[in-house]
A = this chain, B = another copy of it.
């Protein structure tokens, strides 16, 4: 039996990042589908694994872990990941870390806010959409994506240069999210579109498998 257990929901961006990482690099793990929609993450039982009842979470032989980026670093130390994906060299590792720290209050924050305001609050919590809040969240998301394209994608084919790294995977899984609510970050951003195609190609077929539920909601919302 694999020592690693992944608690995940493919509608959650960092859940997809960890799911893709584990599958793509053939790290054995027990997948434990934990539906946010059904509230399976809100039980007291789950609090023992994830103290704030957030997904994704991982257990390694019973050692509980939350925060996907901290888990990624743990996996880089304990599993056989390619050197290029999360480098050991001080400066190269720094470049990946710099993006992963930056994204929390930028790509992760602004794209999630748009998704919450436009999709999650009206759809899951059945509250009427607040059009003013949606417009404001959309503008902040657009500014953030434009900054991402002009600054982070100016360095080369991938976020930190010539190699695909954990920064690219975490970024792509966030940037796919607003497609659920009718906003496609690839449109009007040719550099971003070409980059996301490179990331997808590298991680396929797992990338499309992980994004399957998201593509399905996107298609349904277009009908």
In the complex, A94 has a CB within 8 A of chain B: yes
Given contacts A105-B105, A105-B109, A109-B105, contact A97 B67 (CB under 8 A): yes
Whether B147 and A67, one on each chain, are in contact in the complex, defined by CB atoms closer than 8 angstroms, is no
Q: Which residues of B contact A98 (CB under 8 A)?
A: 65-67, 70
Whether A52 and B147, one on each chain, are in contact in the complex, defined by CB atoms closer than 8 angstroms, is yes
In the complex, A44 has a CB within 8 A of chain B: no
The CA-CA distance from A77 to B51 in the complex, in Å, is 29
Interface size for A (C-beta < 8 A) is 29
Interface of A is mostly: helix
Q: Which residues of B contact A108 (CB under 8 A)?
A: 105
A103 and chain B: residue at smallest CB distance:
B104
Contact string against B for A residues 66-77, beta-carbon threshold 8 Å, 1 for contact and 0 otherwise: 111111011001
In the complex, A163 has a CB within 8 A of chain B: no
Copies in the complex: 2
Whether B73 and A93, one on each chain, are in contact in the complex, defined by CB atoms closer than 8 angstroms, is yes
Chain A residues 41-62 with CB under 8 Å of chain B are 51-52
Whether B94 and A151, one on each chain, are in contact in the complex, defined by CB atoms closer than 8 angstroms, is no
Contact string against B for A residues 100-131, beta-carbon threshold 8 Å, 1 for contact and 0 otherwise: 11101100110000000000000000000000
In the complex, A216 has a CB within 8 A of chain B: no
A77 and chain B: residue at smallest CB distance:
B90
Q: Which residues of B contact A80 (CB under 8 A)?
A: none
Given contacts A52-B147, A66-B102, contact A97 B109 (CB under 8 A): no
- Residue numbers of A with Cβ under 8 A of B are 51-52, 63, 65-71, 73-74, 77-78, 90-91, 93-94, 97-98, 100-102, 104-105, 108-109, 147, 151
The 8 closest A-B pairs by CB, nearest first: A104-B104, A70-B97, A67-B101, A70-B98, A74-B94, A77-B90, A70-B101, A67-B98
18 contacts between A and B (CB under 8 A): A52-B102, A52-B151, A65-B94, A65-B98, A66-B98, A66-B102, A67-B102, A68-B101, A69-B101, A70-B94, A70-B97, A70-B98, A73-B94, A73-B97, A74-B93, A104-B104, A104-B105, A105-B109
